[in-house]
Amino acid sequence: MKLLYKNIYEKLKKFYHLKILKRHYYRLGKCNKCGACCENIYVRHNGSVIKTKEEFEKIKKEDDYSFYQHIKIINQDDFGLIFECSKFDKEKRLCKDHKNRPSICRNYPSEEIFSFGAQLQDKCGYNFTPIQSFEEIFSKISKKPIKNFEQIN
Ligand code: SF4
Ligand code: SF4
């Protein structure tokens, strides 16, 4: 009986993550408070990573989201600008305003980081695991009808 409940629970969990939340990965693990995500930050605005200083200045003027007012450009690489946050206490490695941290920080890490080629910080206590196995995805794809020549043209 226990096994039956476990299977039902797993199926519901999978459905919820795949169909409702539209996720591809389960986020596992927990925050070990290393502080690494408060340093060397990429910031996505309207779906893409902020890439230039000019773009960032424009966003800051147009958007009063307070997070933009307390981050500073420290570097740049192929993905985009790299920021640090003035609310990060480098000695204690803690957020000085943890209670009021913005949603970008509350939701970190989310699987969206993969969409622009970024990865989790090495020290991060979280990890991601695919919701569907390779076999499940492959079996779904192979069941789809193959379009014939007339349909393609
Ligand atoms: S607001 Fe706090 S949690 Fe967010 S990046 Fe800054 S220091 Fe980190
Ligand atoms: S990098 Fe990961 S473990 Fe470290 S503070 Fe950020 S969320 Fe927590």
Q: Which one of the ligands is nearest to 33 CA?
A: 2
Distance CA 97, CA 104 (A): 14
Q: 80 exposed, middle or buried (CB, 10 Å; 0-12, 13-18, 19+)?
A: buried
Distance between Cα 10 and ligand 2 center (Å): 27
Q: What is the model's pLDDT at position 28? A: 95
Question: Which range of residues forms the domain containing residue 93?
Answer: 2-129
Q: Is 144 a domain residue?
A: no
Q: 67 exposed, middle or buried (CB, 10 Å; 0-12, 13-18, 19+)?
A: middle
Distance between Cα 91 and ligand 2 center (Å): 16
Q: Is 143 a domain residue?
A: no
Distance CA 153, CA 151 (A): 5
User: From the alpha carbon of 70, which atom of ligand 1 is closest?
Assistant: 6
**Residue 29, Ramachandran bin (φ over 0: left; ψ between -120 and 50: alpha; else beta):** left
User: From the alpha carbon of 109, which atom of ligand 2 is closest?
Assistant: 7
Task: Please tell me the residue having the least CA distance from ligand 1 atom 5.
Answer: 38
Q: Is 146 a domain residue?
A: no
- The number of distinct structural domains making up the chain is 1
Distance between Cα 79 and ligand 2 center (Å): 20
Residues with CB under 6 A from ligand 1: 38, 85, 87-88, 95, 97, 101, 105
Distance between Cα 66 and ligand 2 center (Å): 21
Q: What is the model's pLDDT at position 55? A: 95
Regions of the chain short of the pLDDT cut 50: 152-153
Q: Is 149 a domain residue?
A: no
Q: Is 142 a domain residue?
A: no
Task: Please tell me the residue having the least CA distance from ligand 2 atom 7.
Answer: 31
Q: What is the model's pLDDT at position 80? A: 93
Q: Is 152 a domain residue?
A: no
Q: Is 141 a domain residue?
A: no
Q: Is 99 a domain residue?
A: yes
